[in-house]
Amino acid sequence: MSKGKGRSLSLVEDASERCSYSIQNVSDQIRLKVKCKECGGKGSLSEGKCRNGVIGILLEEPLPSSIVLSGYVETLYEDEAVVLMQKMTGILRGIRQFGERRTGEDSDRCDKCKRSPRYIFGKIEKAFNRSLPTLNREMKIQSTGLSANRDTCGNCIESTKSDLQMLQASMEDLKSFILRNAFRISVVQG
């Protein structure tokens, strides 16, 4: 087993610790190994802190074939767990891209606007870091807060609504994936 590069990285808002990790090559497969003892995380992808730490790493590194959370016990995640992390990372990447969209003509006014993509998707990203149910609630709040008007904000609001719809479609895909794997639903060919 050869070790690749490793760094410390934190995406969890207000976290003082960082996830220390290494990229390893195991049988020609990329393995991400996160050192959980160092940050006090529980070493489980079901815990928000660890999950967000792994997602933060996946924003910066190539998609691994497996993920090991190494605490007092090493937990190996493969297959569906890696795909789940990939989908969640894609959602966070989308949230950030939507938040950077500049559609207004008056940037000073847009920066202060509570209907701007930066404000809306900033709140959505904070909700993402807390939990998926919190994310769903925040998306609904932000969607209902956008009213179609025809002032100078009209194009911005329409673009933001469209971005929220795309994000909602990604969330539906994620929910479907989770349900299929939770219940091991399979299609039977007859």
Asked if residue 165 belongs to a domain, the reply is yes
Which amino acid does the sequence have at 183?
F
Q: How many domains does the chain have?
A: 2
Domain co-membership, 67 together with 89:
no
How far, in whole angstroms, is CA 79 from its chain's centroid? 18
Whether the model pTM is above 0.85? no
Q: What is the pLDDT of residue 6?
A: 47
Q: Which letter, b or e, does each residue of 66-92 get, where b requires 16 or more Cβ atoms within 10 Å of its Cβ? A: bbbbbbeeebebeeebbebbeebbbbb
Q: What is the pLDDT of residue 31?
A: 94
Contact 23, 35 (CB under 8 A): no
> What DSSP string runs through 146-187?
-----STTHHHHHHHHHHHHHHHHHHHHHHHHHHHHHHT--P
Give the closest residue to 82 by CA, choosing from 31, 41, 142, 130. Answer: 31
Say what the alpha-carbon torsion angle 4, 19, 30, 72 is, to the nearest 10 degrees.
Answer: 100
Query: Of 56, 78, 100, which residue is a domain's last?
Result: 78
Torsions phi, psi for 164 (to 5 deg):
-65, -35
> What DSSP string runs through 74-86?
EEEEETHHHHHHH
Asked if residue 190 belongs to a domain, the reply is no
Domain co-membership, 166 together with 97:
yes
Q: Could you tell me the two tokens for 71?
A: 């605490």
Q: What is the pLDDT of residue 188?
A: 62
Asked if residue 13 belongs to a domain, the reply is yes
Domain co-membership, 162 together with 94:
yes
- Burial class from Cβ neighbours inside 10 Å (0-12, 13-18, 19+) for residue 143 reads middle
HSE value, Cβ hemisphere, 13 Å, CA-based, for 93: 13
Domain co-membership, 128 together with 44:
no
Asked if residue 189 belongs to a domain, the reply is no
Query: What's the average pLDDT block by block, 10 residues per block, for the chain (190 residues)?
Result: 44 53 91 84 84 92 92 89 94 94 68 83 93 89 73 78 93 90 65
For 149, the domain range is: 85-183
Q: Which letter, b or e, does each residue of 145-162 get, where b requires 16 or more Cβ atoms within 10 Å of its Cβ? A: ebeeeeeebeebbebbee
